[in-house]
Structure 1
Amino acid sequence: MRAQLKLALVVILTGIGAGLGGMLLALLLHMIQHLAYGYGQDALSSHESFLLGVSSASVQRRVAVMALCGVIGGLGWWAVYRWGRPLVSIKQAVGDKAPLMPVKTTLAHALLQIITVALGSPLGREVAPREVGALVASTLSQWARLPVATHRLLVACGAGAGLAAVYNVPLGGAVFVLEVLVGSFTWPAALMALATSAIGASIGWLGLGAEAQYVLPKLPLSASLIAFALICGPLFGIAAHGFVRLTGHARQHAARGWQLPVLALLNFTLIGCVAIYLPQILSNGKGPAQLGFDSELGIGLAALLLVVKLLITSSTLRAGAEGGLLTPGLAIGALLAILLGGLWSLAWPGIPLGAFALIGAAAFLASSMSMPITAIVLIAEFTRIDHDFLVPIILAVVGSVCASRLCGKFKSPPPRIPLTP
């Protein structure tokens, strides 16, 4: 009984700690965004549009901020790899050997991700709160001297709670733990994941509010849209497979040593120059996704943003920057869906492009992140879409994942990575 009470206390404290960590990181991101681009400085915790703030900033400011991003990111990650202890990823921390995450190195790694995404890096911000949540859980587990199996599960729950806090996705955080990090379902794991994610999300409300990440107009459901989901779902899976190969190759060959600060500065400065004409490309992709859901992107602009987003995401990883691919993947799926939806509308008009974008975002995210159930839940919580709209989303996700896994069976062997002494 005493052991169970101790575990319950650690679970509660993990949810609180991960929630506070995620909330503080999100507030830091908003503060840096507002200060860097000079907008909304009287409401740092608001959900004021970053895209609107960037678009209002001068072109000189966009380039200067992105150059600063390159300096901070390049020197910061170079210093972490040069003097910090070896990083331990969340996947490694919940693995069989359960290595401990180094506190200082992990915190520096998380802060660099938040700072660079706030300044305009095209990568996602979701890894940082997951790392902080996992670190909180690991520290509490060591203090409580929990068994190794329980320690691993608690670290996974802390990561899920961090995700839940920063995105207000209590169910999505729990499902992410079970599907992606743990890879199995047991009642103890489910209860711990649900409890920590719910607590983390509720703590996040204190500073971030309980708003949805994306505000959607009323999207009609039709037989034509369901047919689109069935037919085009596999296309998103094939595209997602290519995206995974592209980003995986970029990460395998990411710059290290003296090349990292040099390439980071060049990469981010170039992105700032492109942002003179396309401010939508800055940061993790939430802006283009929202425009797509609102049916405010034409096919031509969507195609241009899709190509540029793919290029700068891979180039940023190649330059040695760190960050997630959740929101970038969601945005890329939405942009691709607008192109496919535009072609579909030539034969079956009447469906707003935002409906295609929502389906494509879910289908692409499911395959690119290898998490079909989590993707469906996240899209539902991100957008709070009508229940009936889940039907085409689920159909597209199923087709996408099947096609992606089929592509994986026929892919060429990964390139050999030479071992360095």
Structure 2
Amino acid sequence: MPEQSGPSPGHAAWLLRVALVTLLIGGGAGVVGVLVNLMLHGIEHAAFGYADGTFLDGALQAPPLRRFLSVMAAGILGAAGWWALRRWGSKVVSVERAAAGTRMPLRTTVLNALLQIGVVGLGASIGREAAPRELGALLASRLTRAAGIEGRQAGILIACGAGAGLAAVYNVPFGGALFVVEVLLAEVSFATLLPAFASSAVAALVARVAEPSAPLYALPHVELTPQLLVFSLVGGPLIGLAAAWFVLLARRAASSRPRGARILWVMPLLFTLVAGASLVLPEVLGNGRAAAQTAFSPGTPLILVLGLLLVKSLATLGTIRAGAAGGTLTPSVAIGAMLGIALGSTVSAVVPGTSTAAFAFVGAAAFLASTMRAPMTGLILVTEFTAQGPELLIPAMLATAGALAVVYFLERTRLSDIP
């Protein structure tokens, strides 16, 4: 029998080139994540007038008038910026379309990301994660083209750039990699896992050199209790129902965004409403981190959680309706955490003994997984956000399974289209 030959020199060189580009994408996305965070924090500190602490601290300490004017400034900046960009710039290309082969315009992509960072830093109620994803994908598309990598492999690496940007900006290497294979590519194979893991790990490592690697949310120590298991089984489907309605409303809000010059008055008007809400509930401001941290903190009054749950949901939907670009990842974490506490309080009223932070964790994981339609990504992201151990995985997995079962049922029966 003839001997089997090893890989040809040409193939080995190609693999080496792909590996090198993967590492460059991870390193570049890490730098992008650092720059995004520095810009965002700089805007937040300037807008709300604080030097130390978290955005929640700054929002609570800022005078009401300052909060109001900051969100008003976000509405004016966003309206003018996106009106001009959409009138004279190229059409924004999503990460999904870029991975499928559509070229991302340099100037439009960068300006769109900068506008997102600016309005979120000024207090707009929408996620910031779209900006580093888009910039990471843009970087990856340029590197793959320069290296002569085309076709399917280029699409995989562009998706990896987006996941690496997410990993860097939130310090979630595993979540960033899972986002690539489960959400963007919907393919779990060696061809997708290897570059996704490598690029996200490198991006998170680079980001940690410039910023501390503390968890995004601080949670007290929580323990698994029988009440939490019961809550997960019963509350999971209810969380899935809420997530399905939130996604439906978000899609309708996005489809009814103002066209043309209408954004010049619609966005400032809707942002004024959010600014008014911030006079009473400062936690509603920003991408959702302030609201989520409020929910995760022990001793938060239930009435505050319920009020913030309603107002944060409306503020996020209103911001999308106003025409702002951005994501719903961190708003979904906040809404899910507060929904978990709202539902879990019923269990605690009957059988006390479970920390509200445990209900918040389970609610956040199930709600995020349902809105993303990605059980593994949603669960791992919340785990990395909070640095919680494996003890809460069992109730979170049960709740996520129940939530996604409801979402799947609604999609299959088209009940989610009911007005």
Under a length normalisation based on structure 1, what TM-score does the superposition of the two structures give?
A: 0.95
Q: Residue 114 of structure 1 aligns to a residue in which SS?
A: helix
Asked if residue 55 in structure 1 is aligned to residue 38 in structure 2, the reply is: no
Instruction: Give the aligned partner of residue 74 of structure 1.
Output: 79
1:308 equivalent in structure 2: 311
Q: Which residue in 1 is equivalent to 2:35?
A: 24
Give the secondary structure class of the aligned counterpart of 1:258: helix
TM-superposed deviation, 1:411: 2.5
Within 2, Cα distance between the matches of 1:4 and 1:240?
42
Provide the rounded CA distance (Å) in 2 between the counterparts of 1:64 and 1:380. Answer: 35
Which residue matches 1:143?
146
Which residue pairs with 1:4 in the alignment?
Answer: 15
Tell me how far 1:230 sits from its aligned partner: 1.1
Q: Which of 25, 34, 43 is matched with 2:45 structurally? A: 34
Match of 2:91 in 1: 86
1:115 is aligned to: 118
Shift of 1:206: 2.1
SS at match of 1:363: helix
Q: Structure 1: how far apart are the matches of 2:188 and 2:146? A: 26
The answer (yes or no) to whether the contact 2:333–2:382 under 8 Å persists in 1 is no
Deviations 1:206-243 (A, max 9, x none): 22221111111111211111111011111110100000
Displacement of 1:412 in angstroms is 5.4
SS of corresponding position for 1:322: coil
Residues 311 and 140 of structure 1, relative CA distance in 2, 3 Å threshold? same
User: SS in structure 1 opposite 2:244?
Assistant: helix
Which residue matches 1:284?
287
Letter in 2 for 1:329: S
TM-score (norm 2): 0.95
Matched, 1:353 2:356: yes
More displaced, 288-297 or 321-330?
288-297
Unaligned runs of 5+ in 2: 1-11
Instruction: Give 1:335's match in structure 2, choosing from 319, 333, 338.
Output: 338
Q: Distance in 1 between matches of 2:146 and 2:389?
A: 44
Matched, 1:243 2:243: no
**8 Å Cα contact 1:27-1:208 kept in structure 2:** no
Cα gap change, 1:102 to 1:61, in 2 (>3 Å): same
1: distance between equivalents of 2:342 and 2:416? 31
Tell me, yes or no, if the aligned pair for 1:87 and 1:106 is still in contact at 8 Å.
Answer: yes
Which letter maps to 1:119? L
Unpaired runs of 5+ in structure 1? 416-421
1:295: Cα distance to partner? 2.4
- Using the TM superposition, give the Cα deviation of residue 163 of structure 1 relative to its aligned residue in structure 2, in angstroms: 0.3
Residue pair 2:410, 2:416 contacting (<8 A) in 1 also: no
1:413 to 1:387, Cα distance in 2 relative to 1, 3 A: closer
Structure 2 CA distance for aligned equivalents of residues 215 and 343 of structure 1: 24
- 1:340 aligned partner, one-letter code: L
Structure 2 distance, partners of 1:406, 1:208, is 42
Work out the CA distance in 1 between the residues paired with 2:179 and 2:221. Answer: 28
User: Could you list the per-position Cα deviations for residues 79-122 of structure 1 after superposition, in whole angstroms to 9, with x for gaps in the alignment?
Assistant: 11001111110111122xx1111111001111111111111011
Q: Supply the AA of the counterpart residue of 2:91.
A: P
The amino acid of 1:185's aligned partner reads V
Contact 1:267 1:315 (C-alpha < 8 Å) held by counterparts: yes
Question: Structure 1 residue 367 and structure 2 residue 379: aligned?
Answer: no
Identity within the alignment, %: 43
Query: Structure 1 263/296 Cα, relative in aligned 2: closer, same or farther at 3 Å?
Result: farther
Counterpart residue number, 2:69: 64
Per-residue deviation, 1:58: 1.1
